[in-house]
Amino acid sequence: MSILTRNTALAGVLDTHLAALAADEGLAPQTIRDGIEGGTMVLLGNPSHPSLRPLLVGQPSRVKVNANIGTSPLCNNPDREIEKLAAALGAGADTVMDLSIAGDLLAIRKGMLAACPLPLGTVPLYSVAQKYLDKGKDPAGMDPEELFAEIEMQAEQGVDFMTVHCGLTRRGAEWATEGGRVLGIVSRGGSILARWMRKNGKENPLLEQYDRILEIARKHNVTLSLGDGLRPGAGADAGDAAQWDEVMMLGRLAKAGLAEGVQCMIEGPGHVPMHEVEAQIVGIKKLTNNAPLYVLGPLTIDSSPGYDHIAGAIGGAIGVRAGVDFLCYLTPAEHLTLPTIEDVKAGVMASRIAAQAGEVALGRRHALEREAGMSQARMALDWDGMKRCALDPEMVDARRGEHRNEEECAMCGKFCAVKMLRDDPQGTL
């Protein structure tokens, strides 16, 4: 039975928005239907999310960019997070994840759902763990029922996609922490679940009771973002057995989800040296049946704190060319602190640049048209045209500043190479 038959919530969202999605993506409606049926595209959109503009993820639809925001114990200001949400949307993010781990998480999420016309994602495990950590208690003491209740409540609230670390096994967690890795487990969700499994001597409840998650997800058309709890946290750890063990599980879970009428994405690395990025992406796509791949980076070096958006853009661009569908941004704050509003904008822009570089390499029409428009405008010294084609139009005026009414830029002035050859050499410059 097809996913659109089984998942009536999804079918309803698709029926309402298919024409607009097809026009926006420049794809035939049948291509979109086929992608969703085959599990290579997902349509993010929980019918309970008010005023939502649903979004396709999965090539050949446009590569999308996510911005992570949310409170932390040391930087807990919900109003500031709403400002970051606006900054992310303003910079061109396609989705936002609320990763809040401090304060009234229910109220914060409600505020974000209301403020965000684009799909919103969460990690429900954080809410459960927070209840323990806030009281100084060990989250390894949690009852799995709390987790399922949280997932259901967030689905009813309208969350469009959720990270669930269902592919993490006792074996995988052991492999990742027995000493072979430099950096063990760096996923917060992965480390909490690994601690729970160790303490309780039991298998991951999100894996053992995956069917319960599927039932909730199908009912609300929540797209499962199958989390990579064992993603490498150092370039040296990339591609080890622990990572691939989880990837293989994610592939099996995505297949089972599709069969049960649930949309699934795959989360990917992480810290990966540049020469291993393509191999990682190709391998993950293969093992996960070409389900939409959602990566954090990949971050090509470990030594760029303060500039991880750049090291991540290098990996992201290579990743998109190799098949990545969805880029989670990294900001200049990564590995150091919670991002500021400026960091959020910088992170979104860096990921959009990576997506554009990858899509140009793939020959995607919308990407090539933007490039061609920019180059033609440059040849004509048409600054309005350059603004229209720039990934950040406002930046063009902002940086030209006092020189914005000159024909040439302030770098070259009368040394302008374009002007030098535009006029007849016998004439004036």
Site for a second copy in 393-412 (CB under 8 A): 395-396, 398-401, 403, 406, 408-412
Tell whether residue 20 is a contact of a second copy (CB under 8 A): no
Site for a second copy in 98-117 (CB under 8 A): 101-102
Q: Which two tokens stand for residue 140?
A: 């390894």
Calpha distance 334→310 (Å, rounded) = 11
Q: What is the DSSP string of 264-316?
A: EEEEE-SB--HHHHHHHHHHHHHHTTT--EEEETTB--SS-TT-HHHHHHHHH
- x/- site string to a second copy, residues 161 to 180, per CB under 8 A? ----------------x---
Tell whether residue 31 is a contact of a second copy (CB under 8 A): no
Residue 13: name the closest of 57, 44, 34 by CA: 44
DSSP classification of residue 329 = -
Strands (E), 165-257: 223-226
Q: Which stretch binds a second copy (CB under 8 A): 5-13, 33-41, 112-120, 337-345?
A: 337-345
Calpha distance 341→324 (Å, rounded) = 26
Q: Which stretch binds a second copy (CB under 8 A): 55-63, 106-114, 286-294, 358-366?
A: 358-366
Query: Do 294 and 268 meet the contact criterion of CB atoms below 8 Å apart?
Result: yes
- x/- site string to a second copy, residues 290 to 319, per CB under 8 A? ----------xxxxxxxx-xxx-xx--xx-
Is the Cβ of residue 28 or residue 395 nearer to a second copy in the bound state?
Answer: 395
Site for a second copy in 242-281 (CB under 8 A): 273-275
- x/- site string to a second copy, residues 222 to 241, per CB under 8 A? -----------xxxxx----
Is the Cβ of residue 115 or residue 391 nearer to a second copy in the bound state?
Answer: 391
Tell whether residue 72 is a contact of a second copy (CB under 8 A): yes
Strand partners, 327: 65, 295
Burial of 201 (0-12, 13-18, 19+ CB in 10 A): exposed
Site for a second copy in 178-217 (CB under 8 A): 182-188, 190-192, 194-195, 198-199
Tell whether residue 1 is a contact of a second copy (CB under 8 A): no
Q: Which two tokens stand for residue 292?
A: 């939409």
The minimum distance between CB 278 and a second copy, in angstroms, equals 11
The minimum distance between CB 17 and a second copy, in angstroms, equals 28
Phi/psi at 295 (nearest 5 deg)?
A: -115, 155
Tell whether residue 381 is a contact of a second copy (CB under 8 A): no
The minimum distance between CB 175 and a second copy, in angstroms, equals 13
Helices and strands: H and E segment counts in the chain: 19, 10
Q: Which stretch binds a second copy (CB under 8 A): 13-21, 30-38, 113-121, 418-426?
A: 418-426
